[in-house]
Amino acid sequence: MKDLREHTRELLEKGEIAAVIGYRQVSEMRTKPVIVTDPADAEHLVFNEYCLNNLAVYLTKARIKALCRTKDKTLKLAITAKPCDVHSIVALIQENQIHRKDIHIISFNCHGVVKDFGCEFNGDNLASKCITCETHKPLYFDKIFGEEKETPKASDQALARIQELESMTHKERFEFFKGEFDRCIKCYACRAVCPLCYCQRCITDKAIPRWIESSSHQRGNFSWNIVRAFHLSARCTGCGECERACPADIPLTLLNRRMAIEAKRSFSYVSGRSLETPTLVGSFNEKDSDELFM
Ligand code: SF4
Ligand code: SF4
Ligand code: SF4
C-alpha cells in the first residue's frame, strides 16, 4: 500500500499524471472508487480483496479530455487495475476509445476478490471470475505491486450451469432465460458498470423507431438482454461487473461467458488480451469458419 501511495503521489507532484482513478477503503470490507488529483490524497489509495469495481468504466474520452488536456499538453491518466480489469483497458484501446500513451496502468499480482462487499475472503465467497482466472499477473502495466499469493480453492459453478443449460432443449433453455429476464427492471445498471458499453446513445434509448420496449415488460426485457449479449459478444472481457450490479440477480455471466467460450472455440479469440490483435468483430479473415453454434 505504501508503495502504491508513494508512486502515485510522486507522479502527481511531478505533474506526470493529471489524476489517479483508484480505490478508497470506506469500511472494513468495502471500498469505493475515487479520482485523486491532489498529491496529498494519494494516502487514501488502497488495493485489496475488496477492490471489486472495474475502474476501466471511468476511462472515457470525455473524462480524459476533462481531466488531462491542458492548453499546452495532454497529461496521462493513471488507473489502478486488477489484471482482469487490464483486459478491459486493452479492449478499449483495441476499439480506439482510448490511447495507450494517455494511460498509466498501475496493476497488482492478484489472488482474487470477494463476490460482494461484506464477505470474508475465502473459497466460499470468491468472485466467480477468480475461480477460472488465468491472468493473476497483468498482461500490460506501467507499474506493478504486490506479491504472488495462492487464490483460495473453489468450484466453478458457472461453468457447471452453462453445461447444464447446453444439455437442455432449445425450448427448455428459452424458458429458463425467459424466467430470468422476467425479473429485469430495466434499471440499466448492467450497462452503466460495463466498460465496453460506451455507446453515447444506446439502442434501447432510441424512440424513433423504438426497437426495444422501455418499460419492464417481458417482451422488452428479453430483447434488451439478448441485444446486449450479442453487442458484447467477442467484446466482453468477463469482468463480471454487470452480474454483480444487477439488483434482480439475473445470471448475466451465463450468457456472456457462453459467448466468450464460442469466440474462443470458433475463432481462437479472447477479448482484451492483445494490443497487437484487431478485434474479432472489427476484422475479417477468409479462413474463419462459417459454422456457428446452435
Ligand atoms: S479474475 Fe483474476 S485478476 Fe481478476 S480479481 Fe480475480 S484473481 Fe484477480
Ligand atoms: S458485459 Fe459484463 S462481464 Fe462483460 S465486460 Fe461488460 S460488465 Fe464486464
Ligand atoms: S442490471 Fe439487471 S435488472 Fe437492471 S437492466 Fe440489467 S439485467 Fe435488467
Q: What is the pLDDT of residues 186-202, one digit of tens each?
A: 999 999 999 999 998 88
The residue ranking higher by pLDDT, 141 or 213, is: 141
Residue found under cell 476511462: 59
The verdict on the CB of residue 232 being under 6 Å from ligand 2 is yes
Query: Is the C-beta atom of 250 inside 6 A of ligand 3?
Result: yes
Render pLDDT for 12-51 as a digit per residue (tens, 0 to 9).
999 999 999 999 999 999 999 999 999 999 999 999 999 9
15 grid coordinates = 505533474
DSSP conformational letter for 74: B
Which residues neighbour 33 within 8 Å (Cβ) at sequence distance 6 or greater? 21, 22, 23, 24, 53, 55, 58
Q: Give me the pLDDT at residue 208, please.
A: 83
**Maximum mean pLDDT: which of 60-69, 81-90, 127-136:** 81-90
Residues in the chain: 294
Residue 1 above 80 pLDDT? Answer: no
User: 272 CB less than 6 Å from ligand 1?
Assistant: no
Return the pLDDT at 52.
97
Closest atom of ligand 1 to 134 CA is 2
State the pLDDT at residue 288.
77
pTM of the model: 0.94
Residue tagged 507532484 (cell numbers): 13
Q: Which of 80, 77, 66 is CA-nearest to residue 32?
A: 80
Take atom 6 of ligand 1 and give the residue whose Cα is closest.
Answer: 130
The pLDDT tens digits for 108-127 are 999 999 999 999 999 889 99
Task: Answer whether 198 contacts ligand 3 (Cβ < 6 A).
Answer: no
Q: How far apart are CA 74 and CA 246, in angstroms?
A: 36
Q: 215-245 b/e with 16+ CB inside 10 Å = b?
A: eeeeebbbbbbeebbebbbbbbbbbbbbbbb
Ligand 2 touching residue 242 (CB < 6 A): yes
Listed in sequence order, the residues at least 6 apart from 47 whose beta carbon sits closer than 8 Å to its beta carbon are 1, 4, 22, 23, 80, 108, 145, 146
Q: What's the pLDDT score for residue 229?
A: 93
Q: From start to end of 125-256, where are the E strands?
A: 143-145
The bound ligand whose nearest atom lies closest to the alpha carbon of 88 is 2
Rounded average pLDDT over 172-181: 94
Per-residue pLDDT, averaged over 168-179, amounts to 93
Q: Is 185 in the pocket of ligand 3 (CB under 6 A)?
A: yes
Ligand (nearest to CA of 228): 2
| Residue 194, ligand 2, Cβ within 6 A | yes
**126: CA distance to ligand 1 center in Å?**
10
* Ligand 1 pocket mutation, candidates 122, 129, 132, 145, criterion most atoms within 8 A of CB: 129
Phi and psi for 118 in degrees, rounded to 5? 90, -5
Please provide the average confidence, as pLDDT, over all residues in the chain. Answer: 92
Q: Is 90 in the pocket of ligand 1 (CB under 6 A)?
A: no
> Which of 88, 132, 232 is the best mutation target for the ligand 2 pocket, counting ligand atoms within 8 Å of the beta carbon and taking the most?
232
CB distance 36 to ligand 3 below 6 Å: no
Question: Which pLDDT score is estimated for 160?
Answer: 86
Report the greatest alpha carbon distance in the chain.
61
Q: 33-47, 112-126, 156-170, 237-251: which range is least confident on average?
A: 156-170
d(CA 292, CA 288): 11
CB-CB contact of 145 with 57 (8 Å) = no
